[in-house]
Chain A
């Protein structure tokens, strides 16, 4: 993500002045006065960043808001009324979401700023805006709902719903179950895109024995799994093997998978079913992000 030179110069000059507007802002109104003072008290010494447990993610995800010392700058900009682009706000949303709540930043801060509280508060606020945060779908992310005092109880699982709605909107087949698919053209890019990890690209050897589907606890949970989930694991493997992108990404099975690895352990052909599901999920997220960003 290399910026053009004039843009970098413009950003450099912008960073020289901490913008201050005289009007109340949405973010400012919702933070406590103490937190607003804390935003001003930050010296940008970056001790928090040097101790952050997810700072390492910055190596792979080029989002500066993952680093706490930069995150706080973006929050301050938002609270003081500098108009951020939608893209910047989304980056901030991802930044505050990618946090393990380990409190290290708060413990280390030489000024004693309660950074963790700021992240929590801002996270709830941003998630409430209704812009889907797709990281919420990662099975590695423990489930985070809205935990604000004033939130209606039904809104608790709003973040997850938002993300799934966003995926749904892009992968239409999840909704329209009786759509007649055109088998041509097949997306050859799609199939070759599924080989990020070595162990996940062996799905083409699947011969459709249905062992994976039979042992799947999610499938066995439903009376009529086809109706509830769409494609079942063995079908997904097959669709992937055929390079049918719409079909492979359009199954609820992807998002209901518990990642218990039973299917992968039992597969007689040694297909890494669960890993392949991961790949597909990542692909769906990437695809959706590209569409809504």
Chain B
């Protein structure tokens, strides 16, 4: 094998036809996945949004069938192309240019597996590697089976003439489950194999450009490379006649058309007719998980509550408990059995103690409700009633049943409109007696996650501006870094990226990962080298950054947990600011940071840092951190004061609680001040985040990176 030759030379790997089919396949596959998935998982939170992209269920069905039509089209095209290659071009069904698996593929697989385990050398591949062949056949059989079963489901009237009914159940299982498998394979295995392998990272463009660089050809397909160099004329072989391609293109377009013409959903009349025949015959038990059972249950309750004269006495006053069936029919819960929410009401005494909202709905995080509102009952916000009260014993916010000595009717089951913030103003208004701030404050956004459990949102101007500045800073930094040399001065940015990717993979999947972990703990977290030099400096540094790191970690873990287990009451408990252990931990860590910042400023003022020319950045950053902490405790104190937390719940906040007592001494309406304090805290944080990439504080990201890189990469 000659090793000389121009490394910038390119070889043709895929002809126009290959690339065209792949592109079409890519688009239709994504289309099919995006239209099919919401049907398979209608309960998932993303299903509704996804299906509305296609204009509802009917639209999704239409698009699904159109994509399917195109899929059949290119499948047929491909078969024709294979036939053309075999018959006209006199290609061979077997051999190095064929997709048919050969014995060498199995040997390659075995050798590759051995290589992964650290034994032997990697196999030398020909034109197609074994995994590329696997990908091909996975798609081939996928289209056959998913497409075939799809046809059965598309035209049941036709197929049921000669197939028994259970075939359709089988077809449904095959169609949906194998499609899921295919998606899993494409999004996990194929994409990773094709683009994220260390040697091609960040992207292998050859399926789009058709070309492959000589260097990569030599590396990935050495046998093919050798073959092409032995028969230079073969390089020209990878062509397809343009006129033939045009013909095929027309055929392909026609392939999609049957899908369009045949695709149509059932009409409303047809659905009604079908429902009449099926549903009401079988379900006799009042099973709350079935439509019929729910209807029975509602009827049972409405037997009494549906009559206009049904009443009860509250505080000696007569109140109607009539529920208008028509009104009830307008609520979103009209298809839910009464007993589902009024759990335990079907017993004596005839009373609901707690609404079981969280048996169906998850707790919402900080993003959706601006703040978890853990001390507020679900119905207090979500019910349309505007009258609320605070339970003096527990401090919880509940629906009020009495207003100005007059009992309130609770007959409406309509929910408050949460599309705008108006709904929040039933608590958040001036002169409220519930301890709510007088203004609706934005959600804790992504920038708050440095210290608080927060949402993955950026809704308020402070967060948006600071995040934007932060990103600009990061972008400038990356451009700054990537102008530097790496290995070879002629490297382009993409070659640098590729090199970094390769190195990163090599390190992550090797024993070096353990060294990285060790260095992370010893040198990054515990800062061994600083400790060796100066204990005082180490103490101050650790007092500031370790608490922030721990709070960041808690925020991150809780964010993950609340996304994974939205229904878990334990996660909800950890997210609660008034949870004793969390409140204590947060206050303690905050105290550490303040002490650290004070120590650092003291050291600088006293001139302990010998020859260093202390810049203004030090004071700005330390001042910002100190101010963030001070405003944070101030806001916490106000919150404790305003929500009038019971002593037992407030005491663990061992700094916030004394502050709240202190604030109480002033004749100031703190609920008016609270939003300003909150915004001061947020703006200071935003300023610090935005300042980060433009100041020496950027070291909190880059220094660990350098320490880690240096521990595993030897310098050139």
Please state if A79 and B706 are interface contacts (CB–CB under 8 Å).
Answer: no
Neighbouring A residues of B479 by C-beta, 8 Å: 22
Choose one: A29, A50, A64; the contact of B613 (CB below 8 Å). Answer: A64
* With A41-B703, A41-B706, A45-B612: A16-B695 Cβ-Cβ less than 8 Å: yes
| Distance in Å: Cβ of B128 to nearest Cβ of chain A | 36
Interface string of B455-484 (1 = CB under 8 A from A): 000000000000000000101110111111
Please state if B715 and A110 are interface contacts (CB–CB under 8 Å).
Answer: no
* With A40-B699, A45-B612, A110-B527: A18-B694 Cβ-Cβ less than 8 Å: yes
Interface residues of A in 1-47 (CB under 8 A from B): 12-13, 15-18, 20-22, 24-25, 28-38, 40-47
Choose one: A12, A16, A22, A111; the contact of B699 (CB below 8 Å). Answer: A111
| Distance in Å: Cβ of A105 to nearest Cβ of chain B | 12
* Docked CA distance A32–B496 (Å): 11
B663 within 8 A of A: no
Please state if B480 and A20 are interface contacts (CB–CB under 8 Å).
Answer: yes
Of B476, B482, B529, B612, chain A has the most CB atoms within 10 Å of the CB of: B612
Please state if B694 and A67 are interface contacts (CB–CB under 8 Å).
Answer: no
Neighbouring B residues of A50 by C-beta, 8 Å: 610-612
Please state if A32 and B484 are interface contacts (CB–CB under 8 Å).
Answer: yes
Please state if A32 and B610 are interface contacts (CB–CB under 8 Å).
Answer: no
Which single residue of chain A is at the shortest CB-CB distance from B713? A34
A80 within 8 A of B: yes
* Docked CA distance A40–B705 (Å): 11
Neighbouring B residues of A32 by C-beta, 8 Å: 484-486, 716
| Distance in Å: Cβ of A216 to nearest Cβ of chain B | 42
Choose one: B611, B620, B705; the contact of A46 (CB below 8 Å). Answer: B611
A117 within 8 A of B: yes
* Docked CA distance A117–B710 (Å): 14
| Distance in Å: Cβ of B330 to nearest Cβ of chain A | 57
| Distance in Å: Cβ of A122 to nearest Cβ of chain B | 13
Neighbouring A residues of B709 by C-beta, 8 Å: 34, 37
Please state if B613 and A43 are interface contacts (CB–CB under 8 Å).
Answer: no
Please state if B485 and A30 are interface contacts (CB–CB under 8 Å).
Answer: yes
* With A46-B611, A49-B611: A41-B480 Cβ-Cβ less than 8 Å: no
* Docked CA distance A24–B493 (Å): 12
Which single residue of chain A is at the shortest CB-CB distance from B496? A33
Please state if A41 and B611 are interface contacts (CB–CB under 8 Å).
Answer: no
Of B484, B496, B609, B694, chain A has the most CB atoms within 10 Å of the CB of: B484
Please state if B706 and A111 are interface contacts (CB–CB under 8 Å).
Answer: yes
Of B482, B486, B609, chain A has the most CB atoms within 10 Å of the CB of: B609
Please state if B486 and A40 are interface contacts (CB–CB under 8 Å).
Answer: no
Choose one: A22, A34, A44; the contact of B615 (CB below 8 Å). Answer: A44
Neighbouring A residues of B699 by C-beta, 8 Å: 40-43, 111
| Distance in Å: Cβ of B472 to nearest Cβ of chain A | 9
Please state if B702 and A36 are interface contacts (CB–CB under 8 Å).
Answer: no
| Distance in Å: Cβ of A257 to nearest Cβ of chain B | 35
| Distance in Å: Cβ of A232 to nearest Cβ of chain B | 45
Please state if A16 and B476 are interface contacts (CB–CB under 8 Å).
Answer: no
Please state if B477 and A55 are interface contacts (CB–CB under 8 Å).
Answer: no
A93 within 8 A of B: no
Please state if A36 and B616 are interface contacts (CB–CB under 8 Å).
Answer: no
Which single residue of chain B is at the shortest CB-CB distance from A110? B529
* Docked CA distance A22–B473 (Å): 10
A242 within 8 A of B: no
* Docked CA distance A175–B616 (Å): 51
Please state if A25 and B612 are interface contacts (CB–CB under 8 Å).
Answer: no
Interface string of B693-714 (1 = CB under 8 A from A): 1111011001101110110000
Which single residue of chain B is at the shortest CB-CB distance from A16? B616
* Docked CA distance A29–B480 (Å): 9
Please state if B496 and A70 are interface contacts (CB–CB under 8 Å).
Answer: no
Provide a sorted-by-A list of 7 A–B residue pairs whose CB atoms are within 8 angstroms. A22-B476, A33-B486, A34-B709, A41-B699, A46-B611, A79-B480, A110-B527
11 more CB-based (< 8 A) A-B contacts, given A18-B694, A36-B483:
A28-B480, A31-B485, A36-B480, A40-B477, A40-B481, A44-B615, A46-B611, A49-B611, A50-B612, A64-B613, A110-B529
7 closest pairs, A vs B, by CB? A46-B612, A33-B484, A20-B476, A110-B529, A41-B706, A43-B699, A36-B484
